[in-house]
């Protein structure tokens, strides 16, 4: 989704702002589609992180690495 939004942003930036009314409406539609895709991607990332499905966390961190836990260091 993010890659599609980036491609749409590139297409929009190459469009002529002084074009016809039809081109302006097309550029607006593409812009809103791009923003919608980015919003959806962020929403999906937040949901993944909420339920612990974030691939940035290793399984060792997820299940509790006792050697690097700050709680154990404070005891």
| Angle subtended by helix axes 21-50 and 2-14, to nearest 10 | 160
User: Which comes out higher in pLDDT, residue 74 or 6?
Assistant: 6
Q: Give residue-wise pLDDT tens across range 46-59.
A: 888 887 776 665 66
User: What does the domain layout of the chain look like in residue ranges?
Assistant: 2-74
DSSP code, position 2: H
Of the pLDDT bands very low, low, confident and very high (cuts 50, 70, 90), residue 62 is low
Of the pLDDT bands very low, low, confident and very high (cuts 50, 70, 90), residue 72 is low
Write the DSSP string, 7-59: HHHHHHHHS-TTS-HHHHHHHHHHHHHHHHHHHHHHHHHHHHHHTT--TTS-H
Q: Give residue-wise pLDDT tens across range 6-37.
A: 888 888 888 767 778 888 888 889 889 888 98
């Amino acid at each position: 989704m993010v890659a599609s939004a980036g491609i749409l942003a590139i297409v929009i930036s190459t469009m002529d702002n002084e074009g016809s009314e039809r081109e302006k409406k097309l550029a607006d539609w593409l812009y809103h589609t791009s923003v919608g895709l980015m919003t959806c991607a962020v929403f999906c990332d937040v949901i993944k992180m909420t339920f612990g499905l974030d691939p940035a966390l290793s399984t060792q961190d997820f299940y509790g690495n006792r050697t690097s836990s700050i709680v154990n260091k404070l005891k």
